[in-house]
Amino acid sequence: MDFNKLFRLQKDLDAQIIEEHNLKDEVLFSQKSLALQVEVGKLADETRCFKYWSNKAPAKREIILEEYIDCLHFILSIGVDKNFDDITPSLAKFNYNITEQFLDLYVDINDFVICSSKDHYITLFEDFLSLGKNLGFSELEIESEYIGKNEFNQERQSSNY
């Protein structure tokens, strides 16, 4: 996965959003952190991994991937804001319960909100990428889907979304 490219694309999208919405003097860390938590929740909901009381199947793979990419946008954006866009996270796959991975992500996000260190950011990013692997997404698939969604978001911003 070309992380430099993903960070560059996110930086361009963020600049467009800031320009289009007149946010030059705003600090958006709190909004982005909350947005990431909400998007992680939406992703968990689509996987249905925690819904032990239900027999309903998870959403289609494409929907889960789309929600995953929405989370990735905010992770990249937060990294850009904190100047942590020079990292290359590892893609180790963990073999534990996906529900536990979601809980770990919430801990990672909260740790990063409390102490926005590069180490906490790398942990968050690596745990997120590991979740993607456990959900069955390849690096190429994640990168390709991110690029497509980024282009869509840029077009949407240009049309005064």
What number is the average pLDDT over the span 141-160?
Answer: 86
Share the mean pLDDT of the chain.
93
Using the predicted structure, report yes or no on whether residue 32 has a pLDDT greater than 70: yes
Question: How many Cβ atoms sit within 10 Å of the Cβ of residue 67?
Answer: 21
pLDDT number for residue 155:
81
pLDDT number for residue 96:
76
Say if residue 79 is exposed, middle or buried (CB neighbours under 10 Å; 0-12, 13-18, 19+): buried
Structural contact between residues 107 and 59, judged by C-beta atoms closer than 8 angstroms:
no
Count each helix (H run) and each strand (E run) in the chain, helices first: 6, 0
What is the helix (H) or strand (E) element at residue 78, kind and residue range?
A: helix 61-81
CA-CA distance, 26 to 7, in Å (whole number)? 20
pLDDT number for residue 161:
62
Question: How many Cβ atoms sit within 10 Å of the Cβ of residue 161?
Answer: 10
* Nearest-5° Cα angle at 149, 42 to 15: 100
pLDDT number for residue 157:
73
- Confidence band, pLDDT 50/70/90 cuts, at residue 92: low
Chain-centroid distance of CA 128 in Å reads 7
The model scores a pTM over 0.75: yes
Go through the domains of the chain in sequence order and give each one's CATH number: 3-158 (1.10.4010.10)
